[in-house]
Chains A and B, each alone.
Chain A
């Protein structure tokens, strides 16, 4: 799969702005920041989770387990199982998701690396499924790597809303000791595409990252963050973690 030109990438994003708006929804306690990188031939087993504390509202927690494979240097595909407890309800298996990361530009060649996240989520509850997609940006700034994700979400199927939601994630990681690096992460919702700013919330906080090399070429990759709400609508506090076992 050859790298797309910047003009082609711009067309994809222009198409995104033609989608009608949608109601707001939370990003999910177990959400993660994605990078536009893929390793061909790599199989990964991932566990991630998170807990969100709300003042005056039920807390939330969620776990995600997924299995992924780097099909080419440009495409990784994953099957994702989601478990969550939200809105005061008991925890339950929520959805099965097919997730894909596409690397659109050759890493390091341009001013910024660009990728695309595309997901289809099938809910176990009665109701519509969801399609999610959005750009993944990565930029190395000196000894730090910055990432920014935008994600558009839209329901599909019977009873689907006609709205499109927009959320974002970002992180800044300082390259240092491979086993323990420090940085910051942020997550938030921007509302619906035609009502950006309505119902938005934002959180950010310190994060740590690391890689432990195991036998052969296997690796254990990890990151975690403690996030503080930056506005009244955000969770007061949240913790999240991500563990990836990568093998060949």
Chain B
């Protein structure tokens, strides 16, 4: 036998899910910042970005081999194929320094975002 309270509870759970999904509707585009991978190094090694603002990193791999943009502090890991370009969304970041590295060539591919 169906339970009206359970149906309402179920509808509430699903309404919460749907409203959460609806909140995914895109707001204004975040500012873009370009980061290049060249000879297994990031160029530039440090990037200044505005604090408290979502940022779209455009990671351009000029090398013929893949690299992985990775940062524990930014909670991001993403492969960029050779001669490829990927977006990486980060933030809003509190003021501070956020290191990142290239996991395929971590001995040379090191960098940081400076949020201020």
Contacts and interface: CB of A to CB of B under 8 A. Distances in A.
Interface of A: 6, 9-10, 13-14, 16-17, 37, 39-41, 73, 105-112, 114, 135, 137, 140, 142-143, 145, 150, 166, 175, 178, 190-191, 193-198, 211, 217
Top 9 A-B residue pairs of the complex, sorted by shortest distance between their CB atoms: A108-B89, A6-B24, A110-B24, A196-B9, A17-B14, A196-B10, A195-B6, A109-B89, A196-B6
A135 B23 contact: no
Interface of B: 2-3, 5-7, 9-11, 13-14, 17-18, 20-26, 54, 56, 68, 72-73, 75-79, 87-91, 94, 103-104
Majority DSSP secondary structure for residues of B touching A: mixed
Given A73-B78, A135-B21, 8 more contacts: A6-B24, A6-B25, A10-B18, A142-B94, A145-B75, A175-B75, A178-B72, A195-B3
Contacts of A190: 13
A197 B4 CA distance: 11
Contacts of B5: 197
A143 B2 CA distance: 43
Contact of A16 (B14, B24, B54, B76): B14
Give the interface centre of B9, B11, B24, B78 by most chain A CB atoms within 10 Å.
B24
Contacts of A37: 77
A15 to B, nearest CB: 11
Contacts of A166: 13
B79 A39 contact: yes
Contacts of B89: 106-109
Contacts, number: 92
A240 B66 CA distance: 36
A135 B90 contact: no
A108 B77 contact: no
B88 A108 contact: yes
Contacts of B103: 217
B75 A39 contact: no
A88 B108 CA distance: 56
25 contacts: A6-B25, A9-B21, A10-B18, A16-B14, A17-B14, A39-B68, A39-B77, A39-B79, A105-B24, A106-B87, A107-B76, A108-B90, A109-B26, A111-B24, A112-B20, A143-B94, A145-B75, A175-B73, A194-B2, A194-B3, A195-B2, A195-B3, A196-B9, A196-B10, A198-B6
